[in-house]
Amino acid sequence: MKYKPLSKSFYKNTRKLFMAEMEPNSIAIFNSNDIYPISADSVMPFEQHRDLFYLSGIDQEESIIILFPDAINPKHKEIAFVKKTNSHIAIWEGPKLNKEETYKISGIKTVYWLEDFKNIFQELSTQCNKFYFNTNEHYRQAVETETREDRFIKWCKNQYPAHNVAKSNPILQKLRSVKDDQEIIQIKKACDISENALRRVLSFLKPGVWEYEIEAELVHECIKNRSRGFAYQPIIASGINSNILHYTLNNKKCKSGELVLIDVAAEYGNYSADITRTFPVSGIYTERQKKVYNAVLNVKNEATKLLVPGTLWKEYHIEVGKIMTSELINIGLLDKSDIKNQDPKSPAYKKYFMHGTSHHLGLNTHDYGLLNLPMESQMVFTVEPGIYIPEEGFGIRLEDDVVIQSNGEPINLSKNIPIEIDEIESLMN
């Protein structure tokens, strides 16, 4: 691995917290992700299932962990299964985890080879009444591919039809949404790498540069600093493209006088940053661009202050909508008649700011968190307002990553990335 891993004590604690929520005489099973094919003999780079990683730190394909607090044999309370390596694999792919290395990473003392899974699982199944399955219940999920976890659940239900079933996801949604200090350090590292990358762009950006050339500068800095690369598909949108929320073609030449919206961040140790800045291609913002930019920045700063323990998700977005409405009136995009005649279900500000302001951040860019529960200290959120004006040929979005605190304003993990107009213009000139 390129990154510095978390301590095994962290993973011991996440398993302890998870098992405390399980019902008596039950087993929870977590499978790694597949390696997904492209075509012929090509595959996509492996990325570990974030739930298995959160509970074990094991970052290798074809791995399984089992949690069984009431196991008759104490050594079976926690079990890891990893793929048994051989000389052929070692030559072609390099070394895989052995049993001792698996323990050093995860703190799981009982480690078996994956080939022994079915026999051991058969033994354990006779001792339990219920299986916890790890289904994907994230509020944004729209996965159509059958995963390794899906195949296991089908097999297990067919093989053991008399067992009851429960869901791991509600437990993980709560646990993963509140971050440990070690996790916040990893996210901060991802933010720091992103800072290096964006500062590099400030000295590179000028008229005539292509969007994909900016992408190349960014990824260079990520990989150089022990990141695997981008936490998500990069958005480098110049000119009119900055009004496309998920623009990823990155194939346009940046022109004088335009803005370029850069929604790009690094991952580090499977933890994501999520950063957006909007820079002037020529190094100077026009007066109109400045007005809109400062309106977005004001919304971001005021929205950040609302991220405190006890805040409810729906109420937060209503309040941010009010702040955005005021700013849009100030810059002449809305007037009082627009507000008077607006449909409460589709407020007037949505014409220029049509996406959410914040989402949970962590092991996933859109991380776990139950939106009906109040916000808590140690949750990490993005703050990302934007104003998009296709008729004027530009859109502006600004985004930082913050940690909710029990006392005072959230900590901005990405505060060192230039965001004020004067600093950006100074660095570019």
Per-residue pLDDT tens listing for the chain (429 residues): 899 999 999 999 999 999 999 999 999 999 999 999 999 999 999 999 999 999 999 999 999 999 999 999 999 999 999 999 888 888 998 889 999 999 999 999 999 999 999 999 999 999 999 999 999 999 888 888 999 999 999 999 999 999 999 999 999 999 999 999 999 999 999 999 999 999 999 999 999 999 999 999 999 999 999 999 999 999 999 999 999 999 999 999 999 999 999 999 999 999 999 999 999 999 999 999 999 999 999 999 999 999 999 999 999 999 999 999 999 999 999 999 999 999 988 999 999 999 999 999 999 999 999 999 999 999 999 999 999 999 999 999 999 999 999 988 899 999 999 999 999 999 999
Nearest CA among 188, 270, 185 for reference residue 227: 270
Return the pLDDT at 345.
Answer: 87
Per domain, the residue ranges of the chain are 8-177, 181-428
Report the C-alpha gap between 48 and 60 in whole angstroms. Answer: 7
Q: Give strand ranges (E) for 64-207.
A: 64-67, 78-82, 110-113, 130-133, 164-167
Return the pLDDT at 344.
Answer: 86
Residue 284 makes CB contacts below 8 A (sequence gap 6+) with: 425, 428, 429
Return the pLDDT at 418.
Answer: 98
Instruction: Name the residue with tokens 């049993």.
Output: 99
Q: 241 — phi, psi (to 5°)?
A: -65, -20
Nearest CA among 209, 210, 207, 265 for reference residue 235: 265
Report the C-alpha gap between 140 and 155 in whole angstroms. Answer: 26
Report the C-alpha gap between 306 and 318 in whole angstroms. Answer: 11
Going from the C-alpha of 353 to that of each of 70, 129, 298, 395, the distances in angstroms are 51, 50, 14, 10
Q: Where are the alpha helices (DSSP H) in 240-363?
A: 287-305, 313-330, 336-340
Report the C-alpha gap between 59 and 49 in whole angstroms. Answer: 8
Report the C-alpha gap between 19 and 261 in whole angstroms. Answer: 44
Report the C-alpha gap between 91 and 418 in whole angstroms. Answer: 46
pTM to 2 decimals? 0.97
Q: Give strand ranges (E) for 96-174.
A: 110-113, 130-133, 164-167
> Phi-psi bin for 408: left (phi > 0), alpha (psi -120 to 50), beta?
left
What is 181-428's CATH number, 3.90.230.10, 3.90.1150.10, 3.40.1280.10, 3.90.550.10?
Answer: 3.90.230.10
Beta bridge partners of 110: 79
Return the pLDDT at 93.
Answer: 87
Return the pLDDT at 408.
Answer: 84
Q: 405 — phi, psi (to 5°)?
A: -115, 150
CATH dotted code for 8-177? 3.40.350.10
> Phi-psi bin for 7: left (phi > 0), alpha (psi -120 to 50), beta?
beta
Return the pLDDT at 86.
Answer: 87
Return the pLDDT at 281.
Answer: 98
